[in-house]
Copies of this chain bind each other. A is one copy, B any other.
Amino acid sequence: MKASQFFISTFKEAPADAEVVSHQLMMRAGLIKRLGAGIYNYMPMGLRVIRKVEAIVREEMNRAGAVEVSMPVVQPAELWQETGRFEKMGDELLRIQDRHGRDFVIQPTSEEVVTDIARQELRSHKQLPKNLYQIQTKFRDERRPRFGLMRGREFIMKDAYSFDKSRDAAQLSYQNMRATYQRIFDRFGLSYRAVRADSGAIGGDLSEEFQVIASTGEDAIVYCPASDYAANLEKAEALAPTGTRPAAALALTQTATPGKSTCPDVAELLGVALSTTVKSLVLATDELDDKGILVKSHVWLLLLRGDHDMNEIKVAKVPGLDAGFRFATQAEIETHFGCKPGYLGPLNLLQPVTLVVDRDVAVMGDWICGANVEGFHMTGVNWGRDLPEPALVADLRNVVAGDLSPDGKGVLAIERGIEVGHVFYLGDKYSKAMNATFLGDNGKPAFFEMGCYGIGITRLPAAAIEQNHDERGIIWPDAIAPFTVVLCPIGMARSEAVQATAGGLYDALIALGVDVILDDRDERLGAMLADWELIGVPHRVVISDRGLKEGTVEYQHRRETEASKVAQDGILDHLKARLGL
């Protein structure tokens, strides 16, 4: 490609609404152009990256035996009503009506449509396993789209769906996809982790996220440096503490803590470790009758150590809270505790609540909690003496760095990541809802065992940038760079030697199948180099009259801080070596 025939558009400044570096750099390098909130044009430079991501994904999906289809962007609501998602999905699902007033949705994923295909087309166990995938435009009407392609509304996703005859077979399909994702992410040239994720109602460990490591990532990734354990924060289990509970040493005392309504403030005031304090979280569950009318509500008190955070996914698995919960209202809190939040605790309640105690709290002695009296906390609280032994103990908290790894092989560390892929065992959730069966080898119909597997095609470049950039711009891995090599001739219009050398090298690289761009815009050197550093092409060759006079050109990798002189007649071999050709 020659720059004069391409479309290069760079900007010194990023727009004010670009909060994260990938968004800023994608806008400044002209990869994308905003059309509306969370809706972007993929400009020529950005589309090249997207197409390379697609090509790698497609190649590896095909290699894994998956078959490509394409399901419509606009899908009839009927199928979505079969699974109930048309109603359940909320405002993120963009619903539309056609000219005849019939309901449609714009696909955010395609479980319903692919299950509809399977129930019509896959009639016998002999046709299984089958994995159908598409690379297609999706839409999610995010309430607050932001961060450019990181959380856009319209985006491109690769979504794959496997159909198997048994749970065992489905696990093989899952493992096949997991291995395929590793090949895909290896090829992208990014640092990533496959982390265990919560599989919701389906249970088991068959849900993993592929996270691109980046300090700016939205997700916390928990991993064990001494083993291969990795999970997202939602999923990572906090092991039961190994020690025994210390014996009570202090007397139960109501201690004045005026204006100190948080655990850190109380710990500071009393000069104790935050880990000796206990925070009280008040939840409520509602009991409805057949008509959906509220019969009664029930109040729950969760106790966590002052230095720990509640994990909503784990709380949602506590018996009694697993059908849904909410935070209690101010009125409910006052009725049960006789006190405002900030000084709540499990002692001296006005009305009974159900106590759920985090594993770590259950082994504490001489702890501190709210007194249910404004401006006071209880100190020297002890289980079995000041209140009954906890009946309901569970893992309620996020792990923290230094916790024991669940595999017992070390302690956990935490880093940040960006989710760009997800492999998920679905079981028969969709096949049952849509009565999708095949004829088993026993001659009887059985529900498909399904899995689904996504890769955020347009999010991936953003994640790659979050991981690979510097103050000058983007640093693309070779595999997904818009161009692999850029040739920068200086004063090409005025020097035949420069023109001939640049042209010859360009032709030689094209003949080798290298994705090269020749910057023939005749820009001045500074502007030209700044453009290509911003755009992030990994390999750059500068060709100048001065260099040619001494028989050299300059090569610089985007990660290097200085250019190196290479003999003019050795540059092609040099590039081949750097490109691994």
8 A Cβ contacts from A75-133 to B:
75-76, 91-92, 94, 96, 98-99, 104, 106, 113, 116-117, 120-121, 130, 132
A540 close to chain B: CB less than 8 A: no
A98 CB, nearest partner CB in chain B, Å? 5
Cβ of A35 under 8 Å from chain B: yes
- Note all chain B residues with C-beta closer than 8 A to A6: 67
Asked if A39 and B139 make an inter-chain contact with CB atoms under 8 angstroms apart, the answer reads no
Chain B residues in 8 Å Cβ range of A217: none
Which residue of B36, B42, B76, B106 contacts A35 across the interface (Cβ within 8 Å)?
A: B76
What residues of B have a CB within 8 angstroms of the CB of A137 in the complex? 73, 137
Distance between Cα atoms of A407 and B91 in the complex (Å)? 60
* Docked CA distance A72–B139 (Å): 10
- A107 to B: closest C-beta gap in Å: 10
Query: Considering the chains assembled together, what is the distance between the CA atoms of A75 and B153 in angstroms?
Result: 11
Chain B contacts for A121, CB-based, 8 A: 7, 9, 33
A122 to chain B, nearest CB (A): 9
Tell me the minimal C-beta distance from A143 to chain B in angstroms: 7
Q: In the complex, what residues of B have CB within 8 A of residue A47's CB?
A: 68-70
Contacts of A50 in B (CB 8 A): 70
Query: Are A35's CB and B71's CB within 8 A?
Result: yes
A residues 30-74 near B (Cβ < 8 Å) are 33, 35-36, 39-44, 47, 50, 65, 67-74
B141/A98 in contact, CB under 8 A: yes
| Docked CA distance A539–B104 (Å) | 42
Does A519 sit at the interface, judged by CB under 8 A?
Answer: no
Report if A154 contacts B (CB, 8 A). Answer: yes
Contact of A91 among B67, B99, B104 (CB under 8 A): B99
Which residues of the partner chain B approach A9 to less than 8 Å between Cβ atoms?
A: 121
> Which of A36, A43, A70, A137 lies at the interface centre, i.e. has the most chain B CB atoms within 10 A of its CB?
A70
Q: Considering residues A7, A40, A44, A132, which has the most beta carbons from chain B within 10 angstroms of its beta carbon?
A: A7
User: Does A244 count as interface, using CB distance less than 8 angstroms?
Assistant: no
- In the complex, what residues of B have CB within 8 A of residue A75's CB? 35-36, 39
A561 within 8 A of B: no
Q: How large is the interface on A (under 10, 10 to 19, 20 to 34, 35 or more residues)?
A: 35 or more
Q: A65-B5, A117-B33 are in contact. Are A41 and B72 (CB under 8 A)?
A: yes
Interchain CB contact (< 8 A) of A73 among B44, B120, B154 = B154
Chain B, residue nearest A1 (CB): B62
How far is it, in angstroms, between the C-alpha of A291 and the C-alpha of B87 when the chains are bound? 44
Are the C-beta atoms of A74 and B113 separated by less than 8 Å? no
Contact present for B7 and A74 (CB under 8 Å): no
Report yes or no: B73 in contact with A41, Cβ–Cβ below 8 A: no
- Give chain B nearest CB distance to A510 CB in angstroms: 13
Chain B residues with CB below 8 A from A42, complex form: 69-71
Partner of A68, one of B44, B99, B130: B44
Q: Which of B41, B65, B153 contacts A70 (CB 8 A)?
A: B41
Tell me the smallest distance from the CB of A10 to a CB of chain B, in Å.
11
- Which A residues lie at the B interface, using CB under 8 A? 5-7, 9, 33, 35-36, 39-44, 47, 50, 65, 67-76, 91-92, 94, 96, 98-99, 104, 106, 113, 116-117, 120-121, 130, 132, 137, 139, 141, 143, 153-154
Known: A9-B121, A98-B153. 17 other contacts (CB 8 A): A33-B117, A35-B72, A35-B113, A35-B116, A36-B75, A39-B72, A41-B69, A41-B70, A41-B71, A47-B69, A73-B73, A73-B137, A91-B99, A94-B96, A96-B96, A98-B141, A99-B141
List 28 A-B residue pairs with CB atoms under 8 Å apart, sorted by A's residue number. A5-B65, A7-B67, A7-B130, A9-B121, A33-B117, A35-B75, A35-B113, A36-B75, A39-B75, A39-B76, A41-B70, A41-B113, A42-B70, A42-B71, A43-B69, A44-B132, A47-B69, A47-B70, A73-B106, A73-B154, A74-B153, A91-B99, A94-B98, A96-B96, A96-B106, A98-B153, A99-B141, A99-B143
